[in-house]
Amino acid sequence: MTKPIFSCINLTVLLLLHYCESNVEQRASATKSPLTSLVVVENVDGVEAGSDEQEQSSVPDSEGHLEVVQPSDVWQTLKPGQAVPAGSHVKLNLQTGQQEVRLGEEQLKYWTQDHREREKTYVFSPNELKRAMKKIKEDMKMADKDTEKRGSMTTKFHSLEELKKDIAQLDLLVETDFQIIKRLLEQLNSSLSTTEQKLHILHELEYLVHQVDNGQTLCTLGGFQLILKCLNSSDVKLQESSASVLGSALASNPVVQVRAVESGALQTLLTLLATTHPQQVKKKVLFALASLLRHFPYAQSHFLSHGGLQVLSELFRADEGGVLRTRIVTMLYDMISEKELISQAEQKTVHDPSHDKLVRQYAEVSLKGDLLENGWCSLVPQQLKSSEHDYREKTLRALLVMAPVCLDQYRSDDFLLESLISLGDQYHGMVQAERIMGEDDGYFSEIVELIDALEVQIKR
């Protein structure tokens, strides 16, 4: 029993001595080789195992590259100066005194047959490593600069209390519409204001008085007298602009309509239409007059009593272009159709005091006598000569609402009868073209309906 134990001890001692000797030799060789320590690098794909590059010398090449050995699932000898990927398993072979490497246990779990068939290496250059480190430092510096910049920007913003103080110090003047209109009227009334300045003021007022409240403010501040003063100016541009302001203030604003009649605006407008003025001025004046008369029987009654239809009939005859004629025809259509609608509503609705008052006001608007007296039954059909479809449509609508008054004149008017036949043929062809295009209820269909309805009235 003693000999075997002693033999085992001897064997162990010999192995230890052999290991120490091998370790000493390896340390001695380490002093001669510039690269004997292991270098751990990232596990990257390289060249295939068994290639010539895997068997190259272990020393760095002329460019200073390090050879990275790609381990596999079997032990392989690690030459001095070779680097291994992180996670690899390295051991010292006591028999050969050489280091060996293979994949670690975690790597072997994912090792496939494809990995076993190939072994890859990758070479890192010290210059590349230096450039990478330099790039990291530059990125860090840029990040620090961004942080400093954000910090400096936050110092530029003021707190809410500081902002309130700054605004208070600025002493900002915020004007209401009332204050603006008052300021503009003062400038308009100033003798120091030039014509160009007054035109600019009127333009600003036209924009403001579209609102109902601002239109009433214009009246409250005495703006009507200033506007009428500009209407009576000898400057054509001032006349045109002031008429636009007046029309905008009157549109759908009963309070302003009443003040306009009381201030004499109706007489001023009729005078401008009856005297010699450029067409652009009369267009704006007609706009203001239509805004004054629309849905306001009180103004319509005053318009008739002041010879308004006679003034319009003379203007109709003098206008050869047809632009003013169409505006006049539209105004007549509005006045007649409004009264007709009120009469129809009276028969269908329950009586109430406000509606009864409105009916009485429209009853005082007697259009029939003035239409016949001023020859409107023969004047309006002349507008059918126009080549504009829009002008024809408005004329046909006016002729229809005038039919109860002018029916006898229509039947004896050869021009009207011939025009209806000619227009009927023309527009029936246009309707057929619309239907071919898939438009059964097109624009021309409405004109055909108006022509047919007027022919029925005449032939009745």
Query: For residue 456, what pLDDT is reported?
Result: 93
Query: For residue 151, what pLDDT is reported?
Result: 58
pLDDT profile of the chain (460 residues), mean per 10: 44 46 43 40 40 39 63 82 80 82 72 52 65 81 72 63 74 79 95 95 95 94 93 94 96 93 94 93 96 95 94 92 90 92 70 78 87 93 93 95 93 94 94 84 89 92
Query: For residue 343, what pLDDT is reported?
Result: 77
SS (H, E, C) the chain: CHHHHHHHHHHHHHHHHHHHHHHHHHHHHHHHCCCCCCEEECCCCCCCCCCHHHHCCCCCCCCCCEEECCCCCCCEEECCCCEEECCCEEEECCCCCCEEEECCHHHHHCCCHHHHCCCCCCEECHHHHHHHHHHHHHHHHHHHHHHHHHHHHHHHCCCHHHHHHHHHHHCCCCCCHHHHHHHHHHHHHCCCCCHHHHHHHHHHHHHHCCCHHHHHHHHHCCHHHHHHHHHCCCCHHHHHHHHHHHHHHHCCCHHHHHHHHHCCHHHHHHHHHHCCCCHHHHHHHHHHHHHHHCCCHHHHHHHHHCCHHHHHHHHHHHCCCCHHHHHHHHHHHHHHHHHHHHHHHHHHCCCCHHHHHHHHHHHCCCCHHHHHHCCHHHHHHHHHHCCCHHHHHHHHHHHHHHHHHHHHHHHCCHHHHHHHHHHHHHHHHHHHHHHHCCCCCCHHHHHHHHHHHHHHHHHC
Full-prediction pTM beyond 0.85? no
